[in-house]
Structures are given as structure tokens and as C-alpha cells.
Structure 1
Amino acid sequence: MSTVAVAIICKTPAPGKSKTRLSPPLRPEECAEISACFIADLSATIAELAAEGDAEGYAVYTPAGSEGALTRLLPPDFGLVLQGDGDLGQRLDKGIADLLALGHVGAILVNSDSPTLPKAVLRQAVDLLKDGDRVVLSPALDGGYTFVGLSRPHPHLFADIPWSTPEVYRLTLERARDIALPVVELAPWYDVDDAASYALLERELDGLPLTFAPAGLVRQPAARTAAFVRRRRAALAATQHAQAGAA
């Protein structure tokens, strides 16, 4: 059966180097911890998808030499592909090309900041990439995208993009039009990369609906991320209680 590679593009978590925009409200060691939770939860979602038979899970990772620490967060059958050099666009382009070179009919790169991303959206992306040359995108609320999928390398898609700005998604659509590449836009999701999006994650895990999500779309439980949020809340509550008692 022809398979699609579904990969998390990630940095192996380390305090002071992971999810730094989440500090504050999180401490540097908490940023690294939640990054590990995100990777573990996303890879579990991808492993569920791979169990259906037409997808394979990978981490497209950095830095070299961190394989041992990263492997502990991943399912046992995940592959590892080292990221290339350059800006994010160059690394995305090389990641797609490297995965396709392994013999897959399509490749999807998922950011490592969306632990509750529904498996159903990735399922749609896999199906679409088995049927023709196109780019498959899930818009992100911050103006980027949650994942990008291709069935052939298209370097122009990633060229001259001002990464980490609200213009990323719009300019990606322009690049696709430049080369007459069909675009399929799937359900939007969100990245957890600052205080506001962390608060959104907490509300989602509390069961509050996401106003941007299509009706009926079921989020992933993100068990490790949810456990982190519960522990952190409990620790903050205990600290506040102790401070109140000492006042």
C-alpha cells in the first residue's frame, strides 16, 4: 500500500531553548516540559493514524545528537529525519523532499505546537495526498499554518516568506498560485506559542468550545499536555494558598 509520511517538525526540548515565547507565564523548565508533552501527544495522534495502514510517523528534528532524548517521547515505530540548515522555509522544503525520497507518495509536516490537533484533519490530508499533485494546508489562527502537505517537492512554496508573521498563510497561497499548484484548505487549528494561546489551550482542555472549529470536529485528548496543565494549576493554587496563609 502506498503510504504518506506524517512528521512533526520539532526541536528536542531543552530548558531555555524550547517554547521560549511561553515564558512568561511558564518558567523555562516548564516550557521544556510542555514542549515534550506536545511532541508526545502529537506523535500519539500520528501513531493512531499510522495504525490505519496508509501513513507512517516521523520526527523531522534538530539538533543532531539529541536522538536519545527525543526517541523517549515518540512511539517505538517512529522514524527520525534530521532537519537541514537555513531558515524555516529551507528546512520545510528539505524535510518534505527527504520524506518523499524515502518512497512515500506524500509528506505532511506538522508543527509541534498543536497537541489537540484532531486526527480527522490529518486523515483528510493523507487521503488528499494520495490523489494528485497539490498542497494541503491547515490554517493557523496566528496567520501561519498548522501543517503543510505535498506529494511532490515545491521549493517555491517556501521561498521569501517572512516566517513567524501573520503574512505566512496568505503568502503561501500566493506562492501556490504562482506555480499553478492546487490548494486544499482543511479545518483551521491553533498553535500554543504565547500566553494568549496557552490560555486558549487551558479553556479547550476545560471543555469550552473553540469558536473557529467546525461543528462536530473532535479534538485529540492530549493526555500528557492535559496532565501538565492540571499539575501546574495545582502547584499554583498551593503556592497562592501558602502565601495567603503567611500574609
Structure 2
Amino acid sequence: MTTIVVIAKECLPGRVKTRLHPPLSLEQAAELAAASLDDTLGALAALPATRRILAFDGVNAPLAAAGYEILPQVEGTLDLRLAAVFDACEGPTLLVGMDTPQITSALLEPVFTDWTDDVDAWFGFANDGGFWALALNDPAAAQIRGAQIRGDLIRGVPMSRDDTGALQLKRLTDAGLRVNLLPTLTDVDSIDDAHRVAGIAPTGGFAAALAAMMAPSTKDGRR
């Protein structure tokens, strides 16, 4: 009985992946973000979740999220938005971001097959110092000290820093949780990250979208 939550923004120009501009246009950056989200949702489709939620900041959810419950993100900083997701869910809950399109179902399979009584949480670092995945068990099962609800394990952790992942992991372990680590993945923040991820997952929609954007233009402007 595990819930999967994907936290995502609507992929509109100027709202997502703005650090890819330049060399990409804001429209291309948004298109690449949409491909990243679609690849993420595609990888998660093979996992045996009992409930699927898109924690969404936007109006028009992607077609790839068909079958997902849409949970509007709360107002506030990222730590508050992440915390609210866990407060809204019961049972084991896996939260995944939209910025690591190289994920596969195999990477996350241990969350569904190896979540034994001696594991309270799963955590996946991103290469930029953040994290791409966080899974938490029920508070009662995890025997969390000083946290009445799971969101308290996230509120107040500073986000979007190069030590965010380390601080979040420390918050979990300081609360007495026994944490298993998932592989570290590359978060697409820069164009170099984008090329790196496309090389790791060359058959995905993200890689195809990036390749089309990087193709040389002909004299009449066509690629």
C-alpha cells in the first residue's frame, strides 16, 4: 500500500528551467521540462503504487498524468509545499521530483520490494546537493520523535541549496528514522546537466527533445 507523489510545475515558458536560457529559448526550456516530466511519469507507471498523486502548481496537468489525482500545491516555500504533500497522504508515501528524467522503475523498485520493518525512510540525493526522492513510512511505524505528522520532518529545512540534501537527511536521522539511500541522480539545472542526463537515458523523450533543439539549423531556419 504505497502512494507515489510527483511534485511538478506547469511547464510554461518563463516558469520552468529558466537557467537553460540561454542557450535554449524560454519556450525550448519549457518544452524540455515537459519532456522531463513525461519521462518521469512514464518510469513510475511500472511501479505497483496503490495511489498516484500529482502535486501540481498550475492549471493544465500533462496528459501523461492521466489517472493521477491532482493535488494543488499549497502556498509558501518549497519545504512547506513538500510537507503538505506528506500531511495529505496516509501509509508509505514516495515523493519524486520532475527534474531527473533518467529515473527508471528499477531504481525505485526497492521502495516497493525491500521496505522491511527496519527501514523507516528512503532518500535519494541529487548531484547538486538537493534530493530527488523521499519516501516516508507512517509516523507510528517509524516511531518519529518530536514529529506529530510527517510534514514536520521537512518544514524548516532550507531548500534549493547545495546542502539541502544533507540537512534533510540529518533531519530524518535526528528524528530516529532508519534511512536507506537510493542512487544519486543528476538534477537538470544547466545545459551541461541536460546533455549528461540525455547521455544516461538516450532513448527517452527528454533526450529526443534536447537533440532536436541542438540540431543545426539550415539556411532557411529549419532544422
CA RMSD of aligned residues (A): 2.1
Tell me how far 1:205 sits from its aligned partner. 4.2
User: Does structure 1 conserve the Cα–Cα contact (< 8 Å) formed by 2:123 and 2:169?
Assistant: no
Asked if 1:27 is matched to 2:18, the reply is: no
Unaligned ranges ≥5, structure 1: 207-220
> Which secondary structure state, in structure 2, belongs to the residue aligned with residue 171 of structure 1?
helix
Tell me how far 1:72 sits from its aligned partner. 2.1
For 1:178 and 1:11, the matched residues in 2 are separated by: 31
Partner of 1:197: 193
For 1:14 and 1:57, the matched residues in 2 are separated by: 23
Partner of 1:228: 209
For 2:94 and 2:132, the matched residues in 1 are separated by: 10
Unaligned ranges ≥5, structure 2: 139-148
1:116-175: CA deviation from partner (whole Å, max 9, x where unpaired)? 112112111233457466121011111111111112342342133221111111111221
Asked if 1:8 is matched to 2:6, the reply is: yes
Question: What are the within-5 Å matches in structure 2 for residues 163-202 of structure 1?
Answer: 163-202=159-198
Question: What are the within-5 Å matches in structure 2 for residues 133-152 of structure 1?
Answer: 134-152=120-138
In the TM superposition, structure 1's runs of 4+ consecutive aligned residues that sit over 4 Å from their partners are 128-133
User: Does structure 2 conserve the Cα–Cα contact (< 8 Å) formed by 1:18 and 1:35?
Assistant: yes
Q: TM-score, normalised by structure 1?
A: 0.77
> Which secondary structure state, in structure 2, belongs to the residue aligned with residue 48 of structure 1?
coil
- Aligned residue pairs, count: 210
Asked if 1:87 is matched to 2:77, the reply is: yes
Once the two structures are overlaid, the 10-residue window that deviates more, 125-134 or 166-175, is: 125-134
Q: Give 2:63's match in structure 1, choosing from 72, 82, 100.
A: 72
Partner of 1:211: none
Q: Give 1:116's match in structure 2, choosing from 102, 106, 114.
A: 102
Q: TM-score, normalised by structure 2?
A: 0.85
- Whose helix fraction is larger, Structure 1's or Structure 2's? 1
For 2:158 and 2:121, the matched residues in 1 are separated by: 19
User: Does structure 2 conserve the Cα–Cα contact (< 8 Å) formed by 1:130 and 1:151?
Assistant: no
Partner of 1:210: none
Tell me how far 1:29 sits from its aligned partner. 0.3
